[in-house]
């Protein structure tokens, strides 16, 4: 049975080129999901054609500039592109309801702005939101003055430290009045991830409290920061989402303007089966 709208779908997306950073691409889905039976829930296979800027353009982007990132040479076979398959929950930033912070807050209907009174935190509290299917957390953040991003916390099933997952940035990402996209894994067993800014990779250890269980409902999203009094911190597009990873299978075409990669989805899951095996 063919489902119209799913058999061939075109999307402009921000994707994560694993180990390097975030890249804007055009994806044409050839087969979004093929439910062939395999073991351990790894059973959803798909195919897509991914259009990227040409390699010269990519290497002029901060996270791929070889003066900043000597690890990147080109997009190669079996490099992974991670995309948003479905948003599970969006933390609202269209107003200040539910938010508290160390300072005063306003919203322009899209972004939440905190005028800091010093070092502190910005957090959103909710009664209980189901984020069971989410495996990544993404948001955009910007600061002015001397703001530094210190840590991100997500509390599930409770509101004390035992119930949270922690992304602690030991290097303190200095926000430079430009929007920084933070995109980190939200799954059990993760011990380390990355934040990329202007070509610099910042190591981010991931830890969890003794009572943390990703299957529990979301209670609090929290950002910790360092700032001087009067500095501003802005945040928007906070979302817990379910991701899919596309692996580069072949280079179909390369022109002066763009490159076309054939990609396959080699790993998937039934969420119910994933929970049964954990």
Q: Residue 22 in contact with residue 196, Cβ under 8 Å?
A: yes
**How distant, in Å, are the alpha carbons of 14, 98, 153, 193, 235 from that of 122?**
25, 11, 10, 22, 10
Could you tell me where the DSSP H helices lie in the chain?
A: 55-59, 271-277
Give Cα 221 distance to the centre of its chain. Answer: 14
d(CA 264, CA 266): 6
pTM: 0.86
Per-residue pLDDT of the chain (278 residues; tens, 9 = 90+): 222 333 345 666 677 776 667 888 888 877 666 666 555 555 557 888 999 999 999 988 888 888 877 778 888 888 888 888 899 999 999 999 999 999 999 999 999 999 999 999 999 999 999 999 999 999 999 999 889 999 999 999 999 999 999 999 876 777 778 899 999 998 756 688 888 888 788 889 999 999 999 899 999 999 999 999 999 999 999 999 998 888 898 998 888 889 999 998 865 555 555 454 44
Closest C-alpha among 147, 144, 106, 134 to residue 221? 134
d(CA 57, CA 51): 13
Strands (E), 54-93: 80-91
CA 30, 35, 41, 42 dihedral sign is: negative
Give, in degrees to the nearest 5, the angle at Cα 21 between 15 and 26: 25
d(CA 93, CA 73): 38
Closest C-alpha among 20, 18, 15 to residue 70? 20
Q: What is the pLDDT of residue 272?
A: 57
Q: CB count, 10 Å around CB of 14?
A: 16
Is residue 257 exposed (0-12), middle (13-18) or buried (19+ Cβ within 10 Å)? Answer: exposed
Q: Residue 43 in contact with residue 203, Cβ under 8 Å?
A: no
């Amino acid at each position: 049975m063919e489902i119209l709208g799913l058999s061939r779908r075109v999307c402009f997306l921000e994707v994560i080129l694993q180990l390097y950073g975030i890249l804007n691409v055009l994806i044409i889905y050839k087969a979004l999901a093929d439910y062939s039976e395999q073991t351990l829930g790894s059973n959803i296979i798909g195919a897509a054609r991914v259009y990227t800027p040409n390699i010269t353009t990519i290497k002029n982007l901060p996270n791929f500039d070889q003066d900043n990132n000597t690890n990147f040479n080109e997009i190669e076979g079996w490099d992974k592109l991670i995309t948003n398959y479905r948003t599970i929950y969006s933390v609202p930033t269209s107003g200040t309801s539910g938010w508290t912070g160390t300072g005063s807050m306003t919203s322009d209907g899209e972004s939440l702005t905190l005028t800091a009174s010093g070092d502190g935190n910005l957090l959103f509290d909710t009664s209980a939101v189901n984020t069971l299917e989410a495996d990544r957390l993404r948001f955009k953040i910007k600061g002015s003055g001397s703001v530094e991003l210190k840590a991100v916390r997500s509390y599930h099933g409770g509101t004390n430290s035992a119930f949270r997952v922690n992304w602690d940035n030991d290097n303190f990402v200095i926000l430079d009045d430009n929007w920084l996209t933070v995109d980190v894994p939200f799954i059990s067993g993760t011990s380390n991830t990355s934040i990329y800014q202007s070509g610099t990779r910042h190591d981010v250890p991931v830890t969890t409290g003794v009572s943390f269980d990703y299957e529990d409902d979301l209670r609090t999203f929290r950002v910790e920061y360092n700032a001087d009094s009067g500095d501003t911190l802005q945040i928007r597009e906070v979302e817990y989402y379910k991701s899919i990873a596309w692996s580069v299978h072949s280079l179909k075409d390369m022109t002066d303007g763009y490159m076309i990669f054939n990609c396959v989805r080699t790993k998937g899951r039934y969420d119910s089966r994933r929970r049964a095996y954990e």
